Amino acid sequence: MNVLIKAGIALPYQIIETTNKHSYFKFKEGYLEIHLSKSMKLNDLLKKLEANIVSYYQKIKPVPANKFLLWGEKYNLVLKEGLFNYQIKENNIFITSAINEDYRALVYQDALKNYLKAIETDVKQTLFKYDINPVPIKLKKLKSKYGSYHRGKNYLVLNVLLASLEKEFSYYVLMHEYAHQKVANHQKEFYQLLKKLYPNYLKLDQALKKTVIHF
């Protein structure tokens, strides 16, 4: 995912190279999907984006402020001031939060923490098969990536925004970062191990690359 910044406007966009005769745009929720033909040069594309950044930005469809995404489901958001807590009833999510609190990050952090606890036994069984040791996991609000493995201090970091997506993405990112415990770089051996840890990794990896990280 790329971001074009001009005149104070940040336009997230994803380029998909095609064999089509003409290039075309799709205005997605939160980003612009560009199907780039072989006949169009990248510099020409960027000039077009810069010239039309205002109109393109207005056409992408960010999640409305009164909606809340949790585990791939969209809920009606009901906010109330007070000590932080939340509950889900049917199609609604009721969140109580202090005025200055980042309630979205707090909900995502709590939801992801609970999910990791629920899959802990299954994850350990999978890791032990390939001589990978479980390590501490930190949950943070990240702007540019979904996870990372810190080899020196031996711990993982997961982006709390993962809780806005279907749960399978959290499981995949977890396995991806654990694979780095054995293979540091994205080389052939890394993907061979990742396929053992999560056979369907390629589909989810491609989907994540088309997903914009934003709060």
pLDDT in tens, the chain (215 residues): 677 777 767 778 888 988 888 888 888 877 888 998 888 888 888 888 889 888 888 888 666 778 899 999 999 999 888 899 999 998 899 999 987 889 999 999 999 999 999 999 999 999 999 999 999 999 999 877 899 999 999 999 999 999 999 999 999 999 999 999 999 889 999 999 999 999 999 888 888 876 766 55
Largest CA distance in the chain: 56
What pTM does this model have? 0.71
Phi, then psi, of 121 in degrees rounded to 5? -65, -45
**CATH class in words for 106-209:** alpha beta
**Segment (H or E) for 88:** strand 85-89
Distance in angstroms (rounded) separating the CA atoms of residues 6 and 199? 40
Domain layout of the chain by residue ranges: 2-59, 67-101, 106-209
